[in-house]
Amino acid sequence: MSRLIRIDWPDNGTPDLPPALSLAECEARLASLRAAAAAAGHDVIVIYADREHAANLHWLTGFDPRFEEAVLVVTPGDALLLAGNECLAYTSVSPLVRGGLVRVGHCASLSLPSQPRAGRRLVDWLADMLGTDDRVGAVGWKWFGEDEVDDPAGTLDLPAFLADPLRLLAGRVENATPLMMHPVHGLRARVDAVGIARLEFANHMAAAALKRLVFGLREGMTDFQAIEAARLGGLPLGCHATFAVGEAPGLCGPSGAHLTPGQPVSFNICHWGANICRAGWLARSAADLPATARDYVQTFVEPYVTAMSDWCALMRPGVCGGYVWSHMMAALPAETFGITLNPGHLIGLDEWISSPIREGSTDPLASGMAMQMDVIPAHPAYGSTRMEDGYVIADDTLRATLERDFPDVARRCAARASFMRDVVGMDVPDTLLPLADTCGIVAPYLFDPAQIVIC
């Protein structure tokens, strides 16, 4: 069983700024996309992006649209990036654009309403790149199964103003989003050593902000003041920073509520590549909890921390995703813990890429998977608890490369794993690299966060 101890939360230092995305990386990614498209039978790939769904385009080019939409058209010998009024100049952040490997076109239809619409129409730009017999692979942000739609391959996750001209101009247009995001063969489903360094930096920034928030919580303050205490560091947000108190749904932001003992609370800080989340009670001890929740730690938190230890132990290359799912469902019975989503998923610039962990999944975990420990329990009396942080599964080869190229990153990951094993008592294999100093920490009473649960 678990118990409470009092500790200083670990501090392994601030990572150095990781390397920026290079032209060589972008060239390799563009080549890999062309190869994957050809293998899938696509003559042309069209990638759509907007503010919420920019990860595929950014991964490929280093550019993401601000305010507007953007479209990238990739053929075997050409690549055209279409941007609106305000993003046109910003396309220069892309190494591929600066290197002359991607052309840029102005398409005012991608701009905001009521802005000038002079210039070429989207359909005319697309007509330059597509042939009537071309098989087009369209990349948005999700794909569909036979249990959802009649024609999964032909169902596009694109706005009609792009899907309609594609279907008008080309022979067949299919959903090619899995080329980028599928958990097994998606181009974005694995990270290398430099990718780990970038993810660690993002996880540190988010975890440091969340730690400032937690240790800044005071009775009587507002939830706005709690978020202010986090002092967000300036990295792009992967989703809205949440702070849900009392009966507020978990995705709520601050509303002006005052923090008083005996309220459940959940909150997160999410940057590109990192989402650090915690949930517990505004309390100093069980005495501050409602009578129906006084056994919160023993009945709800301790089994959860033990299950998260089991989750860590399973994060090894070759373990079947369906086995992880069934093990977590058995360890955290639905009648008490009410888990409805996948117990873990891939994370990238978008908070959720996809997941090998699904009911009945035969997808194996693999080295290079950036995994989010995202296991969300919910109970009408106990509220929730959370140990949501980022990790990377890494085999001997990837760990050796990380130690060679980014020794400080490897050292910090090893220190975090040692803390989880030696202090918290969790079963953390060598194949699992914890990316944040918050990994392993569950503080159930958030007015006294030095108390944490250990195995």
Tell me, yes or no, whether 107 and 227 share the same domain. Answer: no
Tracing tokens 């507002």 back to the chain, one arrives at 222
Same domain, 410 and 340: yes
Give me the pLDDT at residue 396, please: 98
Tell whether 168 and 193 lie within a shared domain: no
Number of domains in the chain: 2
Confirm whether 25 is domain-assigned.
no
Q: Write the pLDDT tens digit of every residue in 320-354.
A: 999 999 999 999 999 999 999 999 999 999 999 99
For residue range 162-209, list pLDDT tens digits in order.
Answer: 999 999 999 899 999 999 999 999 999 999 999 999 999 999 999 999
With bands split at pLDDT 50, 70 and 90, how would you rate the model's confidence at 250?
confident
pLDDT for the residue 171 = 84
Structural domain includes residue 331: yes
The per-residue pLDDT of the chain, averaged, comes to 97
Residue 102 clears pLDDT 60, i.e. is over it: yes
- pLDDT score of 2: 54
Same domain, 243 and 391: yes
pTM equals 0.96
Within a domain: 183: no
- Specify if 27 maps to a domain: no
Q: pLDDT tens, 387-409?
A: 999 999 999 999 999 999 999 99
The H or E element spanning position 244 is strand 243-245
In which domain, by residue range, is 419 found? 3-16+188-454
Residues 440 and 357 in one domain: yes
Residue 33 lies in a domain: no
Residue 273 pairs in a beta bridge with none
Q: Between these two residues, 135 and 248, which has the higher pLDDT value? A: 135
Which of 150, 175, 200 is a domain's end point? 175
Which stretch of DSSP H or E encloses residue 84? none
Q: Is the pLDDT of residue 283 over 60?
A: yes
333 within a domain of the structure (yes/no): yes
Tokens of 410: 């490897």
Domain harbouring 91, CATH code: 3.40.350
Rounded to an integer, the average pLDDT of 7-12 is 97
151, 175, 199 - which closes a domain: 175
Q: Average pLDDT in the 243-262 region?
A: 93
> Which single residue is written with the structure tokens 């929730």?
384
Average pLDDT over residues 82-110: 98
Q: How large a percentage of the chain has pLDDT more than 70? A: 100
What mean pLDDT is predicted for residues 122-126? 98
**Crossing angle (nearest 10°) for helices 321-331 and 302-314:** 170
Asked if 362 and 387 sit in the same domain, the reply is: yes
pLDDT reported for residue 12:
98
Structural contact between residues 156 and 173, judged by C-beta atoms closer than 8 angstroms: yes
Mean local confidence (pLDDT), 153-157? 96
Residue at a domain's end among 122, 150, 175: 175
Is residue 257 within 8 Å of 246, Cβ to Cβ?
yes
Phi and psi of 199, rounded to 5°?
-65, -40
pLDDT of residue 329: 97
Give the percent of the chain with pLDDT over 90.
97
Q: What tens digit of pLDDT does each residue of 412-446 get?
A: 999 999 999 999 999 999 999 999 999 999 999 99
**Token duo for residue 327:** 């093990």
Kindly report the backbone phi and psi dihedral angles of residue 128, in degrees, each rounded to the nearest multiple of 5, phi listed first: -65, -25
Domain check: are 109 and 256 in the same one? Answer: no
Please say if the pLDDT value at position 223 is more than 60. yes
Q: How far apart are CA 200 and CA 437, in angstroms?
A: 10
* CATH code, domain carrying 417: 3.90.230.10
Q: Could you write out the three-class secondary structure of 342-402? A: CCCEECCCCCCCCCCCCCCCCCECCCCCEEECCCCCCECCCECCCCECEEEECCHHHHHHH
Q: How far is CA 103 from CA 24, 92, 96, 106, 144, in A?
A: 17, 11, 9, 10, 31
Q: Is residue 402 part of a domain?
A: yes
**Residue (of 192, 267, 186, 193) closest to 223 by Cα position:** 267
Does pLDDT of 1 surpass 60?
A: no
Q: According to the model, what pLDDT value does residue 203 have?
A: 98
Asked, for residue 181, whether it belongs to a domain, the answer is: no
Torsion 228-205-417-385 (CA) sign: positive
Residues 129 and 61 in one domain: yes
Query: Do 66 and 164 fall within a single domain?
Result: yes
Q: 3-state DSSP call for residue 440? A: coil
- Statement to judge: residues 169 and 203 lie in one domain: no
- Same-domain pairing of 152 and 201: no
Instruction: Report the pLDDT averaged over residues 205-229.
Output: 97
**What are the Cα distances from residue 424, in Å, to 309, 376, 454?**
9, 20, 4
421 shares a domain with 327: yes
